[in-house]
Amino acid sequence: MTFNANKLARPELLTLTPYQSARRIGGQGDIWINANESPYNNSELDGLNRYPECQPPALIAAYSRYSQVKQSRIVTCRGADEAIELLIRTFCEPGKDTIATFGPTYGMYAISAGTFNIGVNEIQLTDDYQLPHGWQDKAQAAKLVFICNPNNPTGSIIDKSQLAAAVASMPETLVVIDEAYIEFSPQYTSTDLLERYPNVVILRTLSKAFALAGARCGFLLANEAVIDLVMRVIAPYPVPLPVAQVATNALSQSNIALMQQQVSELNVQGQKLTTALTAIGATSVTPFGNFVLAHFSDVAAVQTKLAKNGIVARAYKDTRLANAIRFSFTNAAQTQTLITALSS
Ligand code: PMP
């Protein structure tokens, strides 16, 4: 049993010629009149009158340096959300295929699948939010298995050895590890699995630790065969030029150091918040992302306190989370305000 990306992909993609965008065709010369662009640049940004590169080389190089993943294994796109959608569109046939997820988890896997008429098999995580024994039996039919690590909204983590075993146990399926929050627990990254298993995909984003949610920039890290297929489905110009510039700048050595310093500070505040939540009787599992999910005996009373203090946190309708609220870690002043409000 070996992984064959082409066998897993939607068959029509194998014969499809991807759109030859202006920058992909390329060419040599000084007069560029191949893409119906304007010759006038009316912006302060250099080159904004021209279509951007499909995969901006400076951004890919910067992310490769940061992640220690080879450039040939990186695709950049409009946030991890677009990466989820790209995977579903590349590998799943509408009305026929399914994905597997581990609930409770990030809602976009199911929503993205739903928009393409792809079935979702949500397998329940255990009480301590680990993969349940024998989950593979339930996931056999799935084209893609999504594992969110650290998991949103529970904040829980699955150990690296468990993830490696999960990937190894489904050799003909793509196992997608969503590491949107990995900077808050970097020692848990699974990027090394890319070297060992061709069926693993890792999702990353600049929206969380890098403080660029508004820029919409994410990354899909995978084996070259998977990347080749995803590149058949991706839009001609997924990352706008200003976004590529902002993102590349965020990945400079000094800005990575800034990110790490902010992550440390947020983790300190998160620890303070978690301790305070325990003190008022809430229960939570140790958080590994930049948020904590707290369960309350009287969640309505907590919501009233938050509303009174103008604090907006996230509550859930999911039955397993009906009495829970997710709090994003924030700066020291806001954390203090939150703790005071909760303790009132
Ligand atoms: N994955 C997870 C687990 C998330 O929580 C989020 C954002 N809420 C995303 C992906 C999407 O991230 P992006 O902003 O890069 O689209």
**Which pLDDT belongs to residue 108?**
98
Residues 171, 3 contacting (CB under 8 angstroms): yes
> Could you tell me the CA-to-CA distances from 335 to 59, 215, 288, 304 in Å, in that order?
34, 25, 17, 18
Give 80 Cα–ligand 1 centroid separation in angstroms.
5
**Which pLDDT belongs to residue 1?**
64
**Which pLDDT belongs to residue 317?**
82
CA distance 77 to 238: 6
Which atom of ligand 1 sits closest to the CA of residue 151?
Answer: 3
Give 205 Cα–ligand 1 centroid separation in angstroms.
7
Residues within a 6 A CB radius of ligand 1? 79-81, 106, 148, 152, 178, 180, 205, 207, 213, 218
- How many C-beta atoms lie closer than 10 Å to residue 25's C-beta? 9
Q: Count Cβ neighbours within 10 Å for each residue of 300-330 and write b for 16 or more, e otherwise.
A: eebeeebeeeebebeebeeeebebbbbbbbb
> Could you tell me the CA-to-CA distances from 341 to 107, 280, 292, 306 in Å, in that order?
29, 11, 16, 7
Parallel/antiparallel/unpaired status of strands 200-205 and 98-103: unpaired
> Could you tell me the CA-to-CA distances from 71 to 51, 67, 95, 210, 258 in Å, in that order?
22, 10, 34, 20, 24
**Nearest protein CA to atom 2 of ligand 1, as residue:** 180
Domains and CATH numbers, the chain: 5-250 (3.40.640.10), 255-343 (3.90.1150.10)
DSSP letter at 322?
T
pLDDT under 50 in the chain at which residues?
none
CA distance 340 to 344: 6
**CA–CA–CA angle 145, 149, 153 (5° rounding):** 100
Amino acid identity of 320?
R
Give the pLDDT confidence of 67-99 residue by residue, as tens digits.
999 999 999 999 999 999 999 999 999 999 999
Give 326 Cα–ligand 1 centroid separation in angstroms.
15
**CA–CA–CA angle 52, 21, 246 (5° rounding):** 15
**Which pLDDT belongs to residue 24?**
65
**Nearest protein CA to atom 10 of ligand 1, as residue:** 80
CA distance 70 to 270: 33
Tell the residue number behind the tokens 């707290």, with chain if given: 294
Pocket test residue of 108, 185, 329 for ligand 1, highest count of atoms within 8 A of CB? 108
